[in-house]
Structure 1
Amino acid sequence: MTKLDTAVTTRPTRIRYIIAILLFITVVINYMDRANLSIAMPALSQEFDLTTGQQGLLLSAFGWTYAAMQLPGGWLVDRVRPRVLYAACLVLWSLATLFMGMSGGFVALIILRLMVGGFEAPAYPINNKVATAWFPERERGRVIAFYTSGQFIGLALLTPVLSWLQTVLTWHWVFILTGVVGIIWAAIWWFVYREPRDKSGVNQAEIDLIASGGGLVDVESGTSKESKPKLKWSDVKVVLTRRKLWGIYLGQFCLTSTLWFFLTWFPTYLVDYRGMDYIESGFMASLPFIAALVGVLLSGWVSDLMVKKGLSLGTARKLPIIIGLAMTVFMLGANYTDSSALVIVFMSIAFFGNGFASITWSLVSALAPERLLGLTGGMFNFIGNLSSIATPIVIGFLVTDVDFAPAFVYMAAITIVGVLSYVFLVGKVERVED
């Protein structure tokens, strides 16, 4: 065998990039099922004669169970392999979504939306665990940015499509078709995904590349029947008593508050407060999502480039988050213009910032105790996604039938708190001691 032949046989394979694509598509479906209610809400609320308060409660229903199930979901992530858990969750939340299209009343919609939230709870902790197992630290920022961009690509491309579908058929089909797509993807995930050492096509050189770069290729080695981790209060204490972890928890709450505004009230704002029709609002609502997509892809590239250039991991991960959070304050500009075009400009700048800040899961990978990746991710997602409850309800009670301005003041204030959290609480980025 020549030296050239040896080099070829020892060159790392790139199966990990296929895993990144699997995560990306799963996130697209995940967020399509979170946003479909906001698209259907104007027509749905008219059919059921819902007040703004009732709309806020319905829009927040997902968040109640999504947040409540983060800790149990994180515990499951530490016990059940991603191949099994993700497929099961996809089927269950997709069925609940499908049945929302068959609902005939407000109560049924809330119950089913609660089910969607509960079954989606483990999704991002699973994503984080998969990324930590499959990618070295120097690639993880870009990978997390890539699959996170799925939420914005899906929303940017599918918002106009679902709005058109609602106009051509009815709002019922928005839920039915998105539910069917999720069930099909669950089967694909089950047949394709495997752990690094179990995946066909992966050579030892790729395993070594991941492991030497900080990837936890054997993170699933503790999930055998004999050694499954048991939930202990001492573990909960660890993830609740570390200042660094609280910095990212609070920061995530503030970051996702903006996201949940766009996922819940933004289409209603365009239709009811800016006078757009459903198709026009679907197109205009997609523009900020495209801006967010550019932001999240750029942030991952910038963050990993800073690591490559020798900047500290803390600077490389935190700076895009802080800059992005600060940019979301631009949404206040909507309170000072009557131009719909300028409103979209302000919203696009704000949501670009939200996307640019959306590599926060890279800090979970870098800070979480190795044994408690799932539990830390669950706590991070639990506290962060309390915003999915607070944002729809608070906005629903702040706004009136003619005035939406208080909503943007609230969002700007929350964003400033997020900046302060990352500046003063997170500190040096290093793994928390278990």
Structure 2
Amino acid sequence: MEQVVVSAPRSRVRYGMLALVFVNVVINYLDRSNLAVAASSLSKDLQLSSVEMGYIFSAFGWTYAILQVPGGLVADRFGPRVLYAFCLITWSLATVFQGFARGFVSLFGLRLATGAFEAPSYPINNRIVTSWFPDNERAAATAMYVSGQFIGLAFLTPVLVTIQYYAGWKGLFFITGLVGLIWGVIWYFLYRDPLEHPGVNQAELEYIEEGGGLFRGQKRGATAAKVWSAANLKLVLSGRTLWGVYLAQFAVNATLWFFLTWFPTYLVKYRGLDFIKSGYLASIPFLAACAGVLLSGFLSDNLVKKGWSVSAARKMPIIVGLILSVSIVGANYTNDTAFIIFFMAFSFFGAGMALISWVFVSLLAPRHLIGLTGGVFNFMGNLASIIVPIVIGYLAKDGDFKPALVFIGALGLVGACSYIFLVGKIERRG
């Protein structure tokens, strides 16, 4: 009698690991955006001008952007489990200390520290998704963890506003920092790489690897020390395709950083909305951005499965999203609160669609330089976190916010043109 061999069903541990990354991203953006919620009250207490607030809003980006390449190298050399725990705990401590800030210098310095300790986070996210997911699931997985920044902020912005209302801006920093400290410990005990996780079976490992997942050869070792070299840096800084993606990421992040910094102040100071009411209205664009990034990720993966070229399937949602983001300018032509929020939400929906662009790091990076390429990509994109808040501070210093919205909309158009005219064939560089 012939024996029938029944193979064990494929485990789905990768989804649990993605859920952990999702929470990391929520906390990551909680500690980036809490200053935006605190800004209107904090600026009054510390007597800070709009130009000074522009520099404080940008301080996070100075260290965050500059340290993206080193952060990518660190992500290539050290395991996500220990490195992410370290980052979570240190940036959360910096957040707690912001509650003790007494003026421009101390607050600026602590925002610099927050940006420095968060710098490796997105290169680590990309490495985790590249390790745990095959190519045909990677855009959706990227969309899922990127959506964490919007889902978290959409539902937590009213909570943050309420916390500040009752506990003040100092209490807001204390509470958000404490949440990150606790989660850093939880992450350390729960996360494992594919080859180290006790719950993953051989069927899932084979499925990931056969689909292009890169979890072998990513352990720490002597080769990791050789990642940094002039030749490797030149490789990830060369070529029209990568530069097109880098430039477009700057444009995408320009819209994102407006919402992470000036948006609540825009509603309260420049549009005259009640502080508590603004907290609830501010959540609507974040929900729209979440819908945009999820739609874009699943649409892109489905187009690949239906036979579209990888190039077309990955670029099309991003180009459409960047064009939609230009609609932010429409808020300049209405005084109706409902229409203001509509234009803001529609614009952020488009920017959300474009934020699956992290998938291009997995597609274009040399296999041994995924962390380094991710670091350069995030550095280029996060130059917006330095430039945009400062430029807005100067543009709005006389009480007129309209030029600032035109500036953001124009950058969205530049990003769309970058994908249309600069990004060519999608293929890995080595």
Pairwise TM-score range, normalised by the shorter structure: over 0.9
Counterpart Cα distance in 2 of 1:340 and 1:3: 71
Indicate how the Cα distance of structure 1 residues 181 and 399 shifts in structure 2: closer, same or farther if over 3 A, else same: same
How many Å apart are 1:228 and its aligned residue? 3.5
Deviations 1:202-251 (A, max 9, x none): 11110000000000021413x22576434111111111112211111111
The aligned residue for residue 262 of structure 2 is: 265
Q: Distance in 2 between matches of 1:2 and 1:417?
A: 65
Please tell me whether the aligned partners of residues 79 and 229 of structure 1 are also in contact (alpha carbons under 8 angstroms): no
Q: Structure 1 vs Structure 2: percent identity of aligned residues?
A: 54
Q: Distance in 1 between matches of 2:376 and 2:297?
A: 23
Query: Which residue type is aligned with residue 24 of structure 1?
Result: F
Determine if the alignment matches structure 1 residue 246 to structure 2 residue 268.
no
DSSP 3-state at the match of 1:210: helix
CA distance in 2, matches of 1:286, 1:26: 20
Given the superposition, is the C-alpha separation of residues 2 and 363 from structure 1 closer, same or farther in structure 2, using an over 3 Å criterion? farther
Structure 1 residue aligned with 2:194: 196
Residue equivalent to 2:272: 275
* Equivalent residue letter for 1:351: F
1:402 to partner: Cα distance: 2.6
What does residue 31 of structure 2 align with? 33
Q: Deviations over 1:45-76 (max 9, x none)?
A: 01111111001000000000001111111111
The one-letter amino acid paired with 1:273 is Y
The 1-side partners of 2:64 and 2:2 are apart by 56
Quote how far apart the aligned CAs of 1:161 are: 0.5
Over 4 Å off, 4+ runs: 1-5
Residue deviations 1:164-216 (CA, integer Å, cap 9, x gap): 11111101111111111111111111111111011011111100000000000
Structure 1 residues 219, 320: CA separation in 2 closer, same or farther (over 3 Å shift)? farther
Distance 1:298 1:149 in 2: 10
Which of residues 202, 205, 222 in structure 1 aligns to 2:203?
205
**Alpha-carbon distance between aligned partners in 1 of 2:350 and 2:26, rounded to the nearest angstrom:** 20
Q: 1:2/1:218 Cα in 2 relative to 1: closer, same or farther (>3 Å)? A: farther
Q: Which of the residues 403, 419, 425 maps onto 2:416?
A: 419
- Gap regions ≥5 residues in structure 1: none
Q: Is 1:235 matched with 2:253?
A: no
* Aligned counterpart for 2:13 among listed residues 12, 15, 28: 15
Q: 1:2 to 1:285 in 2, by over 3 A?
A: farther
Which residue of 159, 172, 184 corresponds with 2:170? 172
* AA in 2 matched with 1:44: L
Per the alignment, residue 80 of structure 1 pairs with 78
Give the distance between the partners of 1:175 and 1:402, measured in 2 at CA.
28
2 CA distance for matches of 1:428 and 1:348? 32
Partner of 1:322: 319
| Pick aligned residue for 1:392 from 389, 402, 409 | 389
TM-aligned CA distance change 1:170 to 1:79, over 3 Å:
same
The amino acid that maps onto 1:259 is L
Number of equivalences: 430
1:6 match: 6
The offset of 1:125, in angstroms, is 0.4
Partners of 2:313 and 2:360 in 1: CA distance: 10
- Residue 95 of structure 1 corresponds to which residue in structure 2? 93
- Could you report, residue by residue, the CA deviation over 1:316-342 in whole angstroms, capped at 9, with x for unpaired residues? 111110000000111111111111110
Please give the TM-score of this superposition, normalised by the length of structure 1: 0.97
Q: Is the 8 A contact 1:133 1:219 kept in 2?
A: no
Please report how far the alpha carbon of residue 401 of structure 1 lies from its aligned counterpart in structure 2 after TM superposition: 3.9
Structure 1 CA distance for aligned equivalents of residues 139 and 185 of structure 2:
28
**Aligned-pair Cα RMSD in Å:** 1.3
Q: TM-score, normalised by structure 2?
A: 0.98
Amino acid at match of 2:355: S
Change (3 A) 1:342 1:16: same
Partners of 2:193 and 2:180 in 1: CA distance: 22
Shift of 1:32: 0.5
CA displacement at 1:4 relative to structure 2 = 7.1
Q: Is the 8 A contact 2:23 2:148 kept in 1?
A: yes
Cα distance in structure 2, aligned partners of 1:3 and 1:318: 49
Greater shift, 223-232 or 405-414, is seen at 223-232
The 1-side partners of 2:4 and 2:338 are apart by 59
Q: Distance in 1 between matches of 2:415 and 2:227?
A: 33
Q: CA deviation at 1:315?
A: 1.0
Q: Tell me the residue number matched to 2:377.
A: 380
1:45 alignment partner in structure 2: 43
Residue 378 of structure 2 is aligned to residue 368 of structure 1: no
Question: Given residue 312 of structure 2, which amino acid in structure 1 is its aligned partner?
Answer: T
What is the CA–CA distance in structure 1 between the aligned matches of 2:161 and 2:330, rounded to whole Å? 26
Gaps in structure 2 of 5+ consecutive residues: none
1:145 to 129, 143, 147: 143
Query: What secondary structure, in the 3-state scheme, does the structure 2 residue paired with 1:429 have?
Result: coil
**Contact residue 257 and residue 388 of structure 2 kept, 8 A:** yes
